[in-house]
């Protein structure tokens, strides 16, 4: 991954303009990469003397509660005191981390759009970023936004500026967005970065345990239910999907983040090329898509579910009923296969 020297210098100049009021925002349903990159970047900026507020649209998964500094993150949906809106309105700079379109902020979008004076900086690794950012670090070849933040910190300040707390946050994103270093974009530079984080004092076993071995009993039982009762396989065993309605999730005391990783499980089946998860919400159905090899679910999401993401991990939405959504998916998969996109 090659960062533009010109853009690095532009960022350096932007941050050198005295103490500024900065807001960091990330996408709806923030995951380990979104939270980790936000916390690490906030610490780097505070080290320069800036006043930084991290804002997320809704609650992050409970298995990230242990992360240092996460209690300072303002959850917009639960912000009865208006701290997020006040910080955003007063911001000199708004950093947009781990999303490629302001629409990914959903309930937070209008509040961000209302501040037309703040400079906007994108730091992201998703395909096809929107226009309208004053400065953009868009690198789809990066395995995670946390790795991108690591590279920015290294370029601006040197790795000596990375504290143990920052290193821990960065590792969470690198680990979770690569499926424990099993997905794509696993470059030598990424593993050299991990080595630096270890040198800063992180404990990889402890972080893994905190993230992957901290689920509730309800989540474990929901996973079993989803795999046993709700997983359907089509296209001669090469495509799968699962769906969960709100009443099904309530049966297992569902919490934000409990379904994370479900969509990946079907890909452990030898012939499987593509998997989908349909999660019912009050006003829409959230669609998660995963694939392996050359099957491009970013293309599939954009074409059929008004979404997008990465080649092997993407998502979208459906405003149909669950039955209609599944029927649309099955029909779309068949069309996708007929056009040769399933190999």
* 247 lies in the same domain as 322: yes
On the CB side of 29, how many CA atoms lie within 13 Å of its CA? 14
Q: What is the mean pLDDT of each run of 10 residues along the chain (343 residues)?
A: 95 93 97 98 97 97 97 96 97 97 93 95 94 95 97 97 98 96 93 98 98 96 98 98 97 94 96 97 95 96 94 95 98 97 90
| Alpha helix ranges (H) inside the chain | 5-15, 32-46, 83-90, 109-114, 145-157, 164-177, 188-199, 204-212, 217-225, 246-251, 262-265, 297-304, 322-338
Give the residue from 211, 232, 267 where a domain finishes.
211
Q: CATH number of the domain that 24 lies in?
A: 3.90.1640.10
* 132 lies in the same domain as 227: no
Q: Of 285, 66, 16, which is closest to residue 169 (Cα–Cα)?
A: 66
Residue 151: inside a domain = yes
* 146 lies in the same domain as 265: no
Residue 173: per-residue pLDDT: 98
Residue 217: inside a domain = no
* 56 lies in the same domain as 10: yes
How many domains would you assign to the chain? Answer: 2
What's the domain range around 300?
A: 222-338
* 182 lies in the same domain as 226: no
* 155 lies in the same domain as 32: yes
Residue 343: inside a domain = no
What is the DSSP secondary structure assignment for residue 247, as one 8-state letter? H
Residue 246: per-residue pLDDT: 96
* 228 lies in the same domain as 196: no
Q: How far is it, in rounded angstroms, from Cα 231 to Cα 226?
A: 6
Residue 42: per-residue pLDDT: 98
């Amino acid at each position: 991954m090659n960062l533009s020297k010109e853009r690095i210098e532009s960022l350096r100049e932007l941050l050198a303009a005295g103490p500024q009021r900065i807001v960091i925002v990330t996408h709806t349903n923030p995951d380990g990469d979104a939270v980790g990159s936000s916390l690490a970047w906030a610490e780097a900026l505070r080290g320069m003397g800036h006043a930084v507020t991290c804002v997320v649209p809704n609650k992050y998964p409970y298995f990230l509660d242990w992360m240092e500094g996460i209690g300072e993150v303002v959850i917009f949906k639960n912000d009865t005191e208006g701290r997020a809106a006040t910080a955003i309105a007063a911001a000199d700079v708004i950093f947009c981390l781990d999303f490629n379109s302001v629409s990914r902020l959903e309930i937070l979008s209008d509040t961000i759009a209302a501040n037309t004076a703040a400079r906007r900086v994108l730091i992201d690794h998703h395909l096809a970023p929107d226009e309208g950012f004053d400065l953009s670090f868009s690198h789809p070849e990066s395995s995670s936004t946390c790795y991108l933040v690591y590279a920015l910190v290294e370029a601006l300040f040197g790795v000596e500026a990375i504290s143990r707390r920052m290193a821990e946050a960065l590792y969470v994103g690198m680990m979770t967005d690569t499926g424990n270093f099993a997905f794509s974009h696993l470059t030598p530079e990424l593993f050299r970065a991990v080595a630096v984080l270890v040198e800063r004092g992180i404990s990889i076993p402890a972080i893994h345990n905190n993230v992957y071995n901290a689920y509730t009993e309800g989540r474990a039982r929901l996973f079993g239910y989803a795999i046993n009762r709700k997983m359907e396989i089509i296209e001669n065993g090469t495509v799968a999907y699962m769906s969960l309605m709100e009443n099904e999730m309530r049966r297992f005391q569902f919490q934000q983040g409990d379904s994370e990783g479900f969509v990946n499980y079907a890909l452990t089946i030898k012939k499987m090329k593509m998997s989908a998860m349909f999660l019912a919400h009050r006003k829409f159905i959230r669609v998660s898509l995963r694939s392996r090899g050359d099957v491009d679910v970013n293309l599939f999401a954009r074409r059929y579910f008004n979404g997008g993401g990465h080649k092997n991990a993407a998502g979208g939405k459906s405003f149909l009923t669950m039955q209609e959504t599944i029927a649309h998916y099955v029909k779309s998969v068949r069309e996708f296969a007929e056009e040769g996109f399933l190999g």
